[in-house]
Amino acid sequence: MAEAPADNTIAIVGAGIVGICAAARLSEAGLKVTVFDRTGICAETSSGNAAAFAFSEVLPLAHKGMIAQVPRWLLDPLGPLTIPPTYFPALAGWLFRFWRAGASANFDRAVTAQTAMMKLARDEWMQLMDASGTRHMLREDGCLELYESDAEHRASLPSWQVREKAGIDVHHLSQQEIAQYQPGLSERFVRAVFVPGWCNVADPAEFGRAVWQYAETLGARWVKDRVTAVEHQNGVQRLKLESGGEHCTQKLVIAAGAWSHRLAAMLGDKIPLEAERGYNTTLPTDAFDLRRQISFPRHGFVISPLSSGIRVGGAVEFGGLERAPNYARSKAMLRKAAEFLPGLKTTGGKEWMGHRPSLPDSLPAIDAARAPGVYYAFGHGHLGLTQAAATARLIHDLVLGQKPTMPLAPFSARRF
């Protein structure tokens, strides 16, 4: 039997970017933090993202015109969205909630919540980067979103107007102006929008490990093991480990990404979390002279400049956690990228697939569980890196019993 834990002990399940930011903030507060992860620090989904601090993305996916494009996308098995026919029954409930989230009655509430979250995220990241000595890894080059017709650009204007109303600076560009922001693009792009406040990090895996090193200096430790079960007994959280051991702690944060709902269910909370399987290919650094992140909304992918290469990635595939990767999807994006950037060298790349933990309304679960002493920090979808530091601050507030820095009702784990 494991010994009774000390009052200041807390465990975090998941060493992705959300989990390690929480570890840093809780360690700063004097708690004894132990992080459990089956693989490593930022070794899975947090290593393969587009490296973006997407502070301008205040519109949930259901409000960004995605619902209208779903039928067209589904006709292309290698397009921006795919759902294997055999997975539709399992996904039906999530899709229904996603459709409901897109209703106009939910629009203002969702945008207000995301806008507040993004403002907090920017402030918290700047503070955490300064504390952890990682500010030098920040790139403030903006993002360029590209359109192939005037009609496509006009269709995007309502979403840009919402962002501008939220205080986000955007610049609409003509075809003649695009090359000033990114030379070498195909002439098929006739309009663009430049978002100067968009930021990226040099490399998400290296950045995450650097933040973790800061948490380690404060006493946080990492255990390489998979948590197979959690239970709450007599005010103590018991974690059962794949290695056969058990870990007891006073408090627990579940930040296990797309696997989090399985642990939440063991504590009595049924949360409609799905894994959006995303793909990318990271090419060598000399593959193209990429000045900043560029986005192709009609095609559902982005190209990001990293210190470790040029990353071509995106798309959404719903297929659960067990299905084998379909790397034909990353190859399809790479072929399109070569069309859009005629000088792109497409050889020597490394393919990757990861699971984005997504809730139907694109807002994360940041909440106390039914079980006392347990807290949820998951479901960020495409915005895990962007919102990690804000989530860490809110978890810090919950764990320490302080008034949350911002209202948490929109992020309730029981809102569904």
Domains annotated for the chain, with CATH where assigned, are 1-60+106-138+200-272+359-416 (3.50.50.60), 65-105+139-199+273-357 (3.30.9.10)
Q: Which residues contact 289 (CB under 8 A, 6 or more apart)?
A: 183, 184
- Three-state SS for 376? strand
> Exposure of 395 by Cβ count < 10 A (0-12 exposed, 13-18 middle, 19+ buried)?
buried
Contact status, residue 160 vs residue 52, Cβ threshold 8 Å: no
pLDDT of residue 331: 95
93: tokens are 């409930």
What are 313-351's pLDDT values in tens digits? 998 899 999 999 999 999 999 999 999 999 999 999 999
What are 159-213's pLDDT values in tens digits? 999 999 999 999 999 999 999 999 999 999 999 999 999 999 999 999 999 999 9
The terminus-to-terminus CA distance of the chain in angstroms comes to 37
Length of the chain: 416
pLDDT at 309 over 80: yes
- Three-state SS for 226? coil
pLDDT of residue 99: 84
Output the CA angle 162-166-172, nearest 5 degrees: 60
Helices (H), 267-383: 328-340
pLDDT at 15 over 70: yes
pLDDT at 96 over 80: yes
Residue 194 bridge partners (DSSP)? 144, 171
Contact status, residue 169 vs residue 196, Cβ threshold 8 Å: yes
The CA-atom distances, in angstroms, between 250 and each of 6, 367, 399 are: 7, 17, 11
Q: What's the one-letter identity of residue 109?
A: R
What are 225-284's pLDDT values in tens digits? 999 999 998 889 999 999 999 999 999 999 999 999 999 999 999 999 999 999 999 999
Share of the chain above pLDDT 70, in %: 95
